[in-house]
Amino acid sequence: MEGIVAATFLSHGGLIVTATFLSYQELIVTATFLPYQGLILTATFLSYGGLIVTGTFLSYGGLIVTAIFLSYQEVKVTAKFLPYGGLIVTATFLSYQELIVTAIFLSYQELIVTATFLPYQELIVTATFLSYGGLIMTTTFLSL
């Protein structure tokens, strides 16, 4: 197994760590600690099922996480946490049936959800919740 590990410590408390493992599965891990508590983490796994994970922590409490799974079925998941309590989540499943789910939570309790199924039957669902209690929902079923 080939391995490369590098660590660097900065004068203001910043830390950069990079690890790379190349064998039957490729592993790349990168961690960065910034002086103001910012963190960037990236991990990549490539084998029979590829995995890409990226996490970012910002100094104001923001969090961005991205995970991608590539195997017999393709899965893409993205989660973003904003400093003011906002949340953005996106999940995509591609296999025998295609599934796209998107959920967005904003700081004022606004919610947007979109789901799409594209196999033998097509399903489109859209829900929107506004901060003043308004609700808009649209559902469409399309089959053969």
Residue 83's pLDDT band (boundaries 50, 70, 90)?
very low
What's the total number of domains in the chain? 1
Residue 19 covered by a domain: yes
Residue 61 covered by a domain: yes
Task: State if pTM tops 0.85.
Answer: no
How many residues comprise the chain? 144
pLDDT per residue as tens digits for the range 22-64: 443 444 444 444 444 444 444 444 443 444 444 443 334 444 4
The three-class DSSP label of residue 4 is strand
Per the listing, tokens 């960037």 go with 40
Residue 24's domain spans which residues? Answer: 1-71
Residue 40 covered by a domain: yes
Query: What is the DSSP code string of 48-114?
Result: SSEEEEEEEE-TTS-EEEEEEEESSSEEEEEEEE-TTS-EEEEEEEESSSEEEEEEEE-TTS-EEEE
Over its C-alpha atoms, the chain yields an Rg (Å, rounded) of 20
Average pLDDT over residues 75-93: 42
